[in-house]
Structures are given as C-alpha cells and as structure tokens.
Structure 1
C-alpha cells in the first residue's frame, strides 16, 4: 500500500475502534491527515471499501500474530490473545469485531461478509487452540470447545467495553478470571 493509503486505513481503524463505523466520515480522516476527501475517495470510492480494507488489515495482523504463537503451548497462546486485548484496553480501544457488531445491520453486504469472515476466523482459531490445549491437559473446561471459544471472545470484547465505563480494573479482573478458569484445575 502507499503511505497515504496506509495512513488512511490506520486512522479509519482507530476511528472504528473509538467511535464506531457509522460515527465517522471521510472528513474525520482528511482533516487530521491534511489531505482532501478526494484523496480518500481515490483509494476507497465508498466507505464500505475502506471498511473492508480495515477488516482485511486486521485479519493479516491476526494471522501474523497467531503464526508467531503456533509453537507456544496453547495456554501461552491464550495468554498472548489476552495480551492483545489488554493492549487495546490500555489504549481505550474496542476490538474491531466488537465495534463493528452493533453497526452490522447497517453495513454494506460486502462489509458484512468480511466481518463474518473475521469472526469465524478468530473463533475457529480459538476453538482449535482450546481443543489442542485440552488434549494436552494445559487448558481445562467443560463442554464443546466452540462454545467455550464464543464465551471467551465475548467476555474479552465485553471487558473492553466495561473498562471504558468502570476503568482498567474491569479488564484485568475479567482477563485474570478467564485465564484462571481455563488454565488451573
């Protein structure tokens, strides 16, 4: 990507995580980057095109991270996932999936498909991590791994929302309890 395009995507990502997808316009990007709206439209003719690129970039980051973690024990991979959410909590961000979910019904079909692809990819990775960790007796839980993955991801997403309202201790308490429940007998 070009430097301008990279900056547009990075700022759009930040705006989605802090304001929500429907709460920002191209002006919210052009003003701080000191570019014209036409420059944004050159790279992203429609806002949905920009949204799709933001999701694509997030999934590239996610796959890069999980590939780096693949040789770690599964309980350590879960800790790394929690650390990603911890970083977002410190930055005052909501995770991308959690931020796009409330706007889902208003998104263009192509963007809805990308959000669904992102959700499925994250939940599938987490499900596999849980299944393998349980086989190795590194992770302990009752029920299906897919159901547990949904519980974990929804708790991590909610922890970011609650930490905005209740302060960073809400994230810390939720994350510590999740890890304790999964990784200790």
Structure 2
C-alpha cells in the first residue's frame, strides 16, 4: 500500500485521538506531511472517507490483537484489554471510540455506522470473554456479562478522557487497577 496513503491515515488517526475529528482539516495533515491538500484528496476525496478508513484500521487492529491473545487464559486476555491503551495516556490521547463517540451526532452517516460496528465488535468480544471466564470461575462479578462489558468499556473510555483533561496519568492507572479486581 502507498506510503503517502498510510501516512495520511496515521496522522489522521493521531489527530482524531488528540484533538477530535471535527477539529482538524486536511490542511493539518498536509502541513504535517509537507504535501499539498490535493494529495490527500487524491486518496480520500472527502474527510468522511478518511474517517471511515481510520475506523476500519482500528477494527483490523483490534481483531489482530484479540486473535493474538486467544492462546492466553481469560484473565491474561482481560489484563491485555485493560492495558491496551497504556501508550495513549502519555500522549494525552483518547481511544478512537472515545474520540468519535462524543461527536457522533455530527459525524457523517457512513462514519456513524462504522463506529457502531467497531463498538459492537469490542463489546461482543469482551462480553464473550467475561461470560466464559465467569462460567469457568476465572471471574467473579454479579452483573450479566454484557452489562459488565458495557461497564468496563465505558469506564476505560472515561478514564482516558479524564486523564487527558487533568493531564494526570495516575487517574487512568488507578482506574485500571480497580477494573483488574474482577
């Protein structure tokens, strides 16, 4: 795949996570890559085309990670999920879901649809992990597995956002520690 295209996606992904989808333009990407806006439009005629590709890349990355974790026991997979975004904290980034969910109503329909798909992939995977882990007595929690998955996922999203606002990585780390007590 073309290096310029990949770099556009990479920079776009970083901008979504750091400033939000609605706060950046192709000019920001062009400046970062020292290219013309027209070069970005060549690969992504509209900003929503880029947004959809960013979400698709995140879907692919999540699926690849969880596939790599399949050989691990349920607690190790859960631990990996809880620590999946550790590198974001020091960059003051949020995860793609947290970055896009807060402005979901302003996103183009094609992005809203792909974001919903991404969230369902994550929640379905986490629900199954928690369900099987609970049945095998690896986990102990009173909620239904889907409810627990929603609680865990939304807690991580908000932990990243609060850490970013406060510029305090210990907030995220403390919340992680609490989520690991399952």
- TM-superposed deviation, 1:91: 2.5
After superposition, what is the alpha-carbon deviation per residue over 1:116-160, rounded to whole angstroms, capped at 9, x for unaligned? 000100010000110111111111111211110000000001111
Aligned length: 181
Runs of 4+ in 1 over 3 A off after TM superposition: none
The aligned residue for residue 31 of structure 2 is: 31
Structure 1 partner of 2:178: 177
Residue aligning to 1:108: 108
Tell me the distance in 2 between the aligned counterparts of 1:87 and 1:28.
Answer: 23
RMSD (CA atoms): 0.8
Inter-partner Cα distance in structure 2 for 1:9 and 1:117: 19
1:27-75 deviations in Å (ceiling 9; x for gaps): 0000110111001000000000000000000111100000000111111
Measured in 2, the distance between the counterparts of 1:74 and 1:93 equals 27
More divergent stretch after superposition (119-128 vs 78-87): 78-87
Deviation at 1:90, TM superposition (A): 2.5
- The 5-angstrom pairing of residues 35-54 of structure 1 reads 35-54=35-54
- For structure 2, list consecutive stretches of 5 or more residues without a partner in the other structure: none
Determine helix, strand or coil for the equivalent of 1:122.
helix
Q: Distance in 2 between matches of 1:79 and 1:62?
A: 15
Q: Which moved more, 1:98-107 or 1:158-167?
A: 158-167
C-alpha separation in 1, matches of 2:55 and 2:66 = 16
Structure-2 residue corresponding to 1:15: 15
State whether residues 48 and 111 of structure 2, in contact with CA within 8 Å, keep that contact through their aligned partners in structure 1: yes
TM-score for both structures, normalised by structure 2: 0.97
Shift of 1:21: 0.3
